[in-house]
A and B are shown apart, each in its own frame.
Chain A
Amino acid sequence: MTVFFQTLVSGILIGGIYALIGMGMTLIMGVMGIINLAHGQLMMVAMYITFVAYTFFHLDPYLSLFVAMPCLFFLGVAIQKFLLNPLMEVETIIPQNQVLMTVGIAIVLTEIARFIFSSTYRSVTTSYTGKVFFLGGISFNVAMTVAFLFAVTLTIVLFWFLLKTDLGRSIRATAQDKEAAILMGVNSRRITIITYGLGAALVASAGSLLIPIFYLFPDIGRPFTTKAFVITILGGMGSTVGAIFGGLTLGIAESMGATYIGMSYKEMVGLIIFLLVLIFLPGGLKRLTKV
Chain B
Amino acid sequence: MLKVENIDVFYGDLQVLWDVSFEVKEGETVALVGANGAGKSTIIKTISGLNRPANGSIRFLDLHLDKIPSHKIIEHGIAHVPEGRRLFPEMTVRENLIMGSLCPRAKAKRDETMEWVFGLFPRLREREKQLTGTLSGGEQQMVAVGRGLMALPKLIMFDEPSLGLAPILVAEIFKIIQRIRQEGVTVLIVEQNTKQTLEICDRGYVLENGRILLSGTGQELLNNDHIKQAYLGI
Please give the residue numbers on chain A whose beta carbons come within 8 Å of chain B beta carbons, in ascending order. Answer: 166, 169-170, 172-173, 176-177, 179-188, 291
Docked complex Cα distance between A71 and B127 (Å): 43
- Do residues B70 and A182 form an inter-chain contact, with CB atoms below 8 A? yes
Cα of A188 to Cα of B50 in the assembled complex, Å: 12
Interface residues of B in 40-62 (CB under 8 A from A): 48, 50
Q: Which of B124-165 contact A (CB under 8 A)?
A: 147, 151
> How far is it, in angstroms, between the C-alpha of A183 and the C-alpha of B44 when the chains are bound?
11
In the complex, what distance in Å separates the CA atom of A179 from the CA atom of B75?
16
Cβ of B73: which chain A residues have Cβ within 8 Å of it?
A: 183
Q: Is the interface of A mostly helix, strand, loop or mixed?
A: helix
Contacting residues of chain B (13-60) with chain A, CB-CB under 8 angstroms:
48, 50
User: Majority SS of interface residues in chain B?
Assistant: loop
Select which of B48, B71, B74 is within 8 A of A188 by beta carbon: B71
CB distance from B114 to the nearest CB of A (A): 14
Return A225 CB to nearest CB of chain B, in Å.
27
3 A-B pairs with the lowest CB-CB distances in the bound complex, closest first: A180-B86, A185-B74, A176-B88
A180 and B107: CB pair below 8 A?
A: no
Q: Across the interface, do B90 and A291 meet the contact criterion of CB distance under 8 Å?
A: yes
B227 at the interface (CB under 8 A from A): no
Most chain B CB inside 10 Å of its own CB: which residue of A170, A176, A181? A176
Task: Pull 26 A–B residue pairs with CB atoms less than 8 Å apart, ordered by A.
Answer: A166-B98, A169-B95, A169-B99, A170-B99, A172-B90, A172-B91, A176-B88, A176-B89, A177-B88, A179-B50, A179-B86, A180-B86, A180-B88, A181-B88, A183-B74, A183-B82, A183-B86, A184-B74, A184-B99, A184-B102, A184-B147, A185-B72, A185-B75, A185-B103, A185-B151, A186-B71
Residue of A with least CB distance to B89: A176
- Confirm or deny: B204 has a beta carbon within 8 angstroms of a beta carbon on chain A: no
